[in-house]
A and B are shown apart, each in its own frame.
Chain A
Amino acid sequence: MVAAVMSATESRGLRRRNWLTNVNAWLLLLPAIVLLATFTHYPILATLYHSFFSLGRSGPAAFVGLDNYSYMLDDDVFWQVLRNNVIFALATVPTSIALALLMAVWVDKKIAGRSFLRLAFFTPTVLPMIAVANIWLFFYTPGYGLLDQFLKMIGLSGHNWLGDPATVMTALSVMVVWKEAGFFMIFYLAALQTIPPDLKEAAAVEGAGRWYFFRRITLPLLMPTTLFVSINALINSFKLVDQLVIMTKGGPNNASSLLLYYIYEVAFTFWDTTYAATLTVTLITILAAVALTKFIYLDRRIHYQ
């Protein structure tokens, strides 16, 4: 009897302590939860919700099911900006990664002016995209822009780089690579410095040349960084559209428009908010798929130290 009472009090005490621990934990999580829910989770769900409704300019919004999505699939501009975005990603992601790796390997060596070089490579990252776009707008200006002046010097005539559908994507890609590569270089540089120098010495004793060592040891050990950087670069290629606002407004004839910029146009120029919601859900799905590929598939195939 006494024992039963004792154990009852004990378990009540235990439950109370557990409850307090839980409350404590939730209170600690509260600020993050509020911010995430208000600015991330709720907007995603609201967007998803709106993508199933009509615009309701004349009267209340009606549930239209997947009508908005079938409209999207018939929208030529949507397919064009999606294609543009894929081309843009293919052009910028591998290039900026390769360039970042090259720069990192270079400034990891003991060379004169190493700190200066590192700073120089990193500077474009510090600049806001708006500023970068304005600088490069001057480079590409037909006639008196830096590029044309240079071409004139070697006897070539001027060209409207941003006004020609054939060159506008290349021109924008070059600029984005210039801006992004320095940022990714920092990650590679950090990763290179975690590789113990005696691995290189051990390989040298075994007769491995510099290229062999780089291919067989350095590159595999940099794979976690490469993965991280490539996912970020890929997401950035869908996310970063400031340059379009400054330089081309998606033109000429949507030749340089990207998915996010098209969403912006649809939402705030045409005020078709439900169609913008539909496009946004599509964009989020693409980005989520990219992230899931990393977490589920690629992480297992890479050596983490």
Chain B
Amino acid sequence: MSEIVVNAVSKSWGGVGGVDRVSFKAEAGTLLVLLGPSGCGKSTTLRLIAGLEEIESGHITIGGRDVTHLSPAERRISMVFQSYALFPHLSVAENIIFGLKVRRVGRAERDERLKKVADIVGLSQLLDRKPSQLSGGQRQRVALGRAIIAEAAVCLMDEPLSNLDAKLRHEMRTEIRSLQQRLGMTMVYVTHDQTEAMTMADRVILMRDGQIEQNGAPHELYNQPASDFAARFIGTPPMNIISWRDDTSLGVRPEHITLDDHDGVSATIKAVEYLGADSIIICDVKGETVAVRQSGYCSVTTGTKVNLGWQNRHVHLFEKNSGKRREGGLPQ
């Protein structure tokens, strides 16, 4: 099977974007998302797996084969670039079958595979066009087609949706995920968009400053963030984190806070953001900002004094200095 194992891999440029002894494993046939802010090393990690950067130390195996010192082509992977990297002078068809031509696949097989892939990515009508005559979404599909026609077991994606508008991004998200599952590919997907990570991934690796902050399934990252960084990175709006004791901060998700009339922490409403299905109420608690999610339309006026309440089981505790999660519930 084509699982990917990254073992204590390092790469540095003396600046941002390097990675430091990163280890993880992508199970065969699953979608692993590398998530993090810009400069956290997620793209570097992907490029190391692809073989586009040279590894300083550590090992990478794909399907049990050590590929650490192999060229990108020898790793038998396919890749989608953020810019799509389409060849501007070649037609859609030529772009898709580029790799097959390189590997001297016969014309009959080439045509057959092109037809199949064009159907899958919905480009059958546009095969003679040049990339410049396509919309952003169509270009994305060409890049996708070029990646899947190789029938490689491993597909790497470097922020493939970041150049699309919001509606298209949502569509392609679903499409890429279903494609990955249908073809049974092992996919490593880089993004800075936590929504993409949460909706698509089997496993999310959250990175920060070249190291892994947390590695887990989407619900684990959401429900048990390993640090205040993870807690703030995931969720819209992010988790509220307020100082609690000298060495501890207290975190609670906006949807777990309720507005009470008499009990709880006193707060002042600063603003209300109405989103349709729910409203986000921005409150001020002793100089710290706390967001509260209320379902539906919420007609409170700014400046109103309210009391905020939550249940102890929804509380997360973090060490103030290290930011690490402190296990064990809230001491009474």
Q: Collect the chain B residues with CB atoms within 8 Å of residue A204's CB.
A: 52, 71-73
Q: Report B191 CB to chain A, min CB distance, Å.
A: 17
Q: Collect the chain A residues with CB atoms within 8 Å of residue B88's CB.
A: 221, 303, 305
Question: Residue B89 contacts which of A196, A205, A207, A221 (CB distance < 8 angstroms)?
Answer: A221
Q: Report A204 CB to chain B, min CB distance, Å.
A: 5
- Type the 1/0 row for B251-268, where 1 means its CB is closer than 8 Å to any CB of A: 000000000000000000
Q: A196-B83, A199-B85 are in contact. List 17 more A-B contacts (CB 8 A).
A: A196-B85, A198-B81, A198-B83, A201-B79, A202-B146, A203-B98, A204-B52, A204-B71, A205-B52, A205-B79, A206-B98, A206-B102, A206-B150, A207-B73, A207-B102, A220-B89, A305-B132
Closest residue on chain A to residue B156 by CB atoms? A205
Complex CA–CA separation, A171 to B257 (angstroms): 88
Closest residue on chain B to residue A305 by CB atoms? B88
The main secondary structure of chain A at its interface with chain B is helix
Q: Report B248 CB to chain A, min CB distance, Å.
A: 46
In contact, A201 and B81 (Cβ under 8 angstroms)? yes
Complex CA–CA separation, A8 to B132 (angstroms): 48
Q: Report B154 CB to chain A, min CB distance, Å.
A: 11
Q: Report B144 CB to chain A, min CB distance, Å.
A: 13
- Type the 1/0 row for A178-215, where 1 means its CB is closer than 8 Å to any CB of B: 00000000000000000010110111111110001000
In contact, B87 and A217 (Cβ under 8 angstroms)? yes
Closest residue on chain B to residue A223 by CB atoms? B89
B103 within 8 A of A: yes
Closest residue on chain A to residue B100 by CB atoms? A206
The main secondary structure of chain B at its interface with chain A is loop
Q: Collect the chain B residues with CB atoms within 8 Å of residue A201's CB.
A: 50, 52, 72, 79, 81, 85
Size bracket, chain B contacts: 20 to 34
B77 within 8 A of A: yes
Q: Report A227 CB to chain B, min CB distance, Å.
A: 14
CB contact under 8 A between A202 and B71, given known A303-B88, A303-B89:
no
In contact, A212 and B102 (Cβ under 8 angstroms)? yes
Complex CA–CA separation, A220 to B90 (angstroms): 10
CB contact under 8 A between A205 and B83, given known A221-B88, A221-B89, A305-B88:
no
Closest residue on chain A to residue B88 by CB atoms? A305
Q: Collect the chain A residues with CB atoms within 8 Å of residue B79's CB.
A: 201-202, 205
Closest residue on chain B to residue A220 by CB atoms? B89
Top-3 shortest CB links A-B? A206-B99, A207-B73, A202-B85
- Type the 1/0 row for B117-153, where 1 means its CB is closer than 8 Å to any CB of A: 0000000000000101000000000000010001000
B180 within 8 A of A: no
Q: Collect the chain B residues with CB atoms within 8 Å of residue A205's CB.
A: 50, 52, 72-73, 77-79, 99
Complex CA–CA separation, A220 to B95 (angstroms): 14
In chain A, positions 85-137 with a C-beta closer than 8 Å to chain B are: none
Complex CA–CA separation, A303 to B83 (angstroms): 20
Q: Report A301 CB to chain B, min CB distance, Å.
A: 11
Q: Collect the chain A residues with CB atoms within 8 Å of residue B89's CB.
A: 217, 220-221, 303
Q: Collect the chain A residues with CB atoms within 8 Å of residue B73's CB.
A: 204-208
Closest residue on chain B to residue A212 by CB atoms? B102
CB contact under 8 A between A207 and B87, given known A201-B81, A202-B79:
no
Q: Collect the chain B residues with CB atoms within 8 Å of residue A207's CB.
A: 73, 99, 102-103
Q: Collect the chain B residues with CB atoms within 8 Å of residue A221's CB.
A: 88-89
Closest residue on chain A to residue B83 by CB atoms? A198
Complex CA–CA separation, A208 to B146 (angstroms): 14
Question: Residue A198 contacts which of B77, B85, B102 (CB distance < 8 angstroms)?
Answer: B85
* Subset of 23 A-B contacts with CB under 8 Å: A196-B83, A198-B81, A198-B83, A201-B50, A201-B52, A201-B72, A201-B79, A202-B81, A202-B85, A202-B146, A203-B98, A203-B102, A204-B71, A204-B72, A205-B73, A205-B77, A205-B99, A206-B98, A206-B102, A207-B103, A208-B99, A217-B87, A305-B132
Q: Collect the chain A residues with CB atoms within 8 Å of residue B99's CB.
A: 205-208
- Type the 1/0 row for B46-76, where 1 means its CB is closer than 8 Å to any CB of A: 0000101000000000000000000111000
Complex CA–CA separation, A201 to B53 (angstroms): 10
Complex CA–CA separation, A217 to B103 (angstroms): 16
Q: Report A185 CB to chain B, min CB distance, Å.
A: 22
Interface centre among B50, B81, B103, B130 (most CB of A within 10 A): B81
Q: Report B284 CB to chain A, min CB distance, Å.
A: 46
